[in-house]
Chain A
Amino acid sequence: MECAFAITGKDFVLIASDMSAGRSIIQMKSNENKITPVGPNLAMACGGEPGDTSRFADYVDRNLRLYHIRNNFPLPPPSAASWVRRILAESIRSRSPYAVNVLLGGFDTTTSKPHLYWLDYLGTKADIPYAAQGVGMYVTLSTMDKWWYENIERREALDVLNKCVDEVKKRVTIKFDFNCVLIDKDGVHSLDLKSQDPIAELEAKVAAMKPSDPEPIIPSSDAPAIAAA
């Protein structure tokens, strides 16, 4: 039982995912991060069979990193999505398929456009402005249908995202905690949904970091995982 959703805006993508890990009715962890950055401007939320999800996220991450190292240029989001889709499509007809559903969000720095892909374990791919997966699909899709609009700004998009979180808390019987990332031209940033103004915090952080600390061309392999909320 998991729940993830994502929203694209004018020049960014927001991805939120629950952080619960457990088996059947027992929850063993409430701060498991399920959103993996898989490139300088690319992140992926994985749901599905617990073991498969982390293996798959790792596999994608390392292959995309290899591409980045070999070509000194990261694979842009549309191509990355096609690649991930192919892995899943080949996997479903193999002897040990990955049971993984993916939301892949990224910012294409070459065209300055945000991208969001909805992928399921069969290798189905949809290129859509907002998406949801898992049990939250039944309540958050309608929320996003109502509130999302084209070229939505960051704060408004975050409001929509919070509306979705509230809806899940209100309508889904399982208790979820969420973490969230924002992907834009500067990279993948984690957002603290509990803070008063996460966007202001993010802007401050980016402003403080930029002049002295330029983005590394190749992200280091042991870059800290996104902080659990």
Chain B
Amino acid sequence: MEYNGGSVVAMIGKDCVAIASDLRLGQQSVGVAMNFDKVFPVNDKLYYGLPGLATDVYTLREQLRFRVNMYRMKEEREITPKTFTHLVSSTLYEKRFGPYFIEPVVAGLPSPTELDPHPKPFISTMDTIGCITTPKDFAVAGTASNKLFGVAEGLWEPDLEPEDLFETISQTLLNAVDRDALSGWGAIVHVITHDKVITRQLRARMD
């Protein structure tokens, strides 16, 4: 985890979710790249972040892309955030005794169905072997996770509108990574709403 550094945070708002990450890729204390995105889309209602060992970020992303595409072709529908969480979890547990060094964070808006016409925004997080937690407020992971917990606990409040959620998650991420030597070097935020995804790169401290 501490080899490459990096952090991800996700938050629930009112009919929206947000997920954000820093952009640093390091080799221990040396910074290598400032364009290393750790948050990826599954579809326009579902994103996930993979902080941890960078080689596993790629491997797991490719593995998940493959499995989601297989799901899409077999089921002829989009995967729901909950199902995707279990897909990630079982992918991680497959490597129970030689794990991927990744703590994923999933954030998505489930589409309304007949059974559940008003689904709630969804976030979840896992440990390196796929043990799932589904918080009602926010999820954090990565080298700045303890700092993220502190700031998020102080700033987050229920039922934030998309713009307020954007401000909350951005301030949480920026102030947490500024106190972490292994995270930072830029940041990116995605706010997922029912009609669009707002993606913004943040201006951050570059030291």
Contacts and interface: CB of A to CB of B under 8 A. Distances in A.
A92 B32 contact: no
A89 B58 contact: yes
Contact of B35 (A120, A123, A127, A141): A127
B55 A126 contact: no
B152 interface: no
Contact of A124 (B35, B55, B62, B98): B55
B59 interface: yes
A171 to B, nearest CB: 15
B54 A122 contact: yes
Interface string B41-69: 00000000000011100110010000000
Given A89-B55, A92-B55, A120-B27, A126 B32 contact: yes
Nearest to B25: A126
B198 interface: no
B73 interface: no
Contacts of B4: 124
Given A118-B33, A120-B27, A126-B25, A89 B59 contact: yes
Contacts of A85: 55, 58
Interface residues of A, number: 19
Contacts of B53: 122
Nearest to A125: B58
Contacts of B62: 86
Given A120-B27, A137-B30, A138-B30, A126 B58 contact: no
B4 to A, nearest CB: 7
A131 interface: yes
Contacts of B54: 122, 124-126
A128 interface: yes
A216 to B, nearest CB: 34
Interface in A85-133: 85-86, 88-89, 92-93, 118, 120, 122-128, 131
B5 to A, nearest CB: 12
Contacts of A131: 32
B149 interface: no
A89 B53 CA distance: 11
B36 interface: yes
Interface in B1-50: 3-4, 25, 27, 30, 32-33, 35-36
Interface string A58-97: 0000000000000000000000000001101100110000
B59 A128 contact: no
Nearest to B3: A122
Contact of A118 (B3, B32, B55, B98): B32
Contacts of A128: 32-33, 35
A20 to B, nearest CB: 22
B58 A123 contact: yes
A106 to B, nearest CB: 18
A128 to B, nearest CB: 5
Nearest to B62: A86
Contact of B59 (A120, A123, A138): A123
Contacts of A122: 3, 53-55
A127 B25 CA distance: 11
Most chain-A CB neighbours within 10 Å: which of B30, B54, B55, B58? B55
A148 to B, nearest CB: 13
A141 B55 CA distance: 22
Contact of B55 (A123, A127, A137): A123
Interface in A129-176: 131, 137-138, 141
Nearest first, the 5 A-B pairs at minimum CB distance are: A123-B55, A126-B33, A124-B54, A122-B55, A124-B55
Given A120-B27, A122-B53, 8 more contacts: A89-B58, A122-B3, A123-B59, A124-B25, A126-B25, A126-B32, A131-B32, A138-B30
